Amino acid sequence: MEAQYAEAKEELIGELREKTTTITVKDFSPAGIRVEYNSEGEVTGRYNARHIETVSGLVKPDGSSDYEARAIDTTSDGDTILITAKGKGMVETPTKSRFEGEHTFQTASKKLAWLNTVKGRHEGTYNPATGEVSIRLYGKT
């Protein structure tokens, strides 16, 4: 007898619009340039929150990048969501980079506790000329 499993369905959790506030160049090496980006913005969707984030990345000579991020979302009710993320990106034009990766949520909020079990995925674009970032957050529970 074959076991049948219901595959978890991915859903859009929210959209994040943010703007880079500072960029710090950390190091140069043959592997690339290590940088940190700090940004602020808003998440809208299944929850709405103010968003602050630091991204540490390695921009490689071929235009690709690897990154890790830490973020804090705060709702108007005072709930806090901690987000960790990692992924890869690629420069497409001087004004457009694309990236995608995985993320996890942590929260002590009873109302948002469902986020603690979400397996997250994100995709987005970054405009280095303006510092504007647009991200779609997806998740499976």
Predicted confidence band at 8 (pLDDT cuts at 50, 70, 90)?
A: low
Average pLDDT of 8-34?
A: 95
What is the Cα–Cα distance from 90 to 99, expressed in whole angstroms? 6
Residue 1: is its pLDDT beyond 80? no
What's the CATH class of domain 12-140? mainly beta
Closest by CA to 120, choosing from 78, 83, 65, 77, is: 83
Q: Which two tokens stand for residue 25?
A: 């160049």
Widest Cα–Cα separation across the chain = 58
Boundaries of every domain in the chain = 12-140
Q: What is the pLDDT of residues 104-120, one digit of tens each?
A: 999 999 999 999 999 99
Q: Which two tokens stand for residue 111?
A: 């109302």
**Above pLDDT 70, what percent of the chain?**
94
Check residue 2 and report its DSSP letter: -
Predicted confidence band at 7 (pLDDT cuts at 50, 70, 90)?
A: low
